[in-house]
Homo-oligomer: A and B are copies of this chain.
Amino acid sequence: MAKIKKVRFKLNTFEYIKPFHIANNIAYDTKNIEVIIELENGIQGFGEASPSFRVNGERIEALMALEEVVEEMIMEMDVREYRRIFEKIDSLKSASSIKAAVQYAVLDAFGEEVGVPVYQILGGAKKEIETDYTISIGSIEERVKDVREILARGHRIIKIKVGENLEEDIQGMIAIHEVSKGCKYIVDANTGYTPKQAIKFVKEVYRAGIDISVFEQPVDMNDIEGLKYVRWKSPFPVAADESARTKYDVFRLIKEEAVDYINIKLMKSGISDALAIVEMARTANLRLIIGCMGESSLGINQSVHFALGTGAFDFHDLDSLLMLKEEKFRGKYKVEGPVYKV
């Protein structure tokens, strides 16, 4: 028996090494909630919630207040029955980052209890993955400078934030490409474009001879028709991120044939919906990216084990860890430049 005896939430603030600038948003720090689950035998499981008000509508104050609610929900439940606990926690529809952290902490405690790392419980499909690194929105000179820096650190997959100024974004892409030939690009507009702006962007970039591996969330999160419009007109694969929070969102996107890629973030969907999205997307021949919010090493640990276990992802956008000031590395994996491995 491995029953849950205690659930604790702990607020941790992490500063960004430099401000993180995406379409219509600049972050200087991130406030995350560490979730600790304690079993009757003293074993502890750890998770981390990195909430997003912009994407999920989550507020840290409201989430912190859920500590007792969660404890009451899963008290006395056995982590060896993790799907029963997942189902209980699925009811936290307005606290998806907490859902993710609690569900992962349960898996972590189960893994410790039985002596099997979480990535093996989930299938052990891979032993290492490579993360991209994100270039914030900035002047063209700043973007190029940032790209040179990450190339020097060994990154070869570059995520480029766009969506505030179409002309600058196009010129920025061309300038970045000049100094990073051979790299792969994921371009993310974070809902910043209209459908027609998005098409102008990809056409100009295509004309400049640049290949984009994935074009992420070009338009408003609720504009599924717009997403579909871009998908069918774009020469590059189009991904849903903000539009794809739950498994039900993804089911609708698949039915509508609206995208080529889904960006799964545990903070949007938890472990339970993420597992469903993996299976649905693969069956429907969509491809997958795994992304993050502002997780520290503890939160990125969750996505690393999920990605290694399922082996489901073409691209791993798990770089928040590399962008935050953090005193102590807490992941159950190793970081070697852009590579995360067990």
Contacts and interface: CB of A to CB of B under 8 A. Distances in A.
A123 interface: yes
A83 interface: yes
A124 B84 contact: yes
A247 interface: yes
Given A248-B283, A279-B280, A280-B279, A311 B123 contact: no
B247 A283 contact: yes
A310 B83 contact: yes
A73 interface: no
A125 interface: yes
Interface of A: 78, 80-84, 86-87, 114-116, 120-125, 247-248, 250-251, 255, 275-276, 278-280, 282-284, 309-311
Contacts of A275: 279
A78 B279 contact: no
B311 A83 contact: yes
Given A114-B114, A114-B115, A114-B116, A81 B124 contact: yes
A309 B311 CA distance: 21
9 contacts: A80-B120, A82-B123, A83-B122, A83-B309, A84-B123, A84-B125, A247-B279, A276-B279, A278-B279
Given A115-B114, A283-B247, A311 B121 contact: no
Q: Which 10 A-B pairs have the closest CB atoms?
A: A83-B123, A81-B124, A276-B279, A83-B125, A279-B279, A247-B283, A80-B120, A251-B283, A114-B116, A80-B124
A311 B255 contact: no
B279 A86 contact: no
A311 B84 contact: yes
Nearest to A255: B255
Contacts of A124: 78, 80-84
Nearest to A122: B83
A284 B251 contact: yes
A279 to B, nearest CB: 4
Given A82-B124, A83-B309, A283 B280 contact: yes
Contacts of A248: 283
B279 A125 contact: no
Nearest to A120: B80
A55 B310 CA distance: 30
Contacts of A83: 122-125, 309-311
Given A114-B114, A114-B116, A115-B114, A125 B81 contact: yes
Nearest to A278: B279
A255 B257 CA distance: 11
Nearest to A127: B81
A125 B78 CA distance: 10
Nearest to A276: B279
Given A87-B311, A278-B279, 6 more contacts: A82-B123, A82-B124, A83-B124, A115-B115, A275-B279, A276-B283
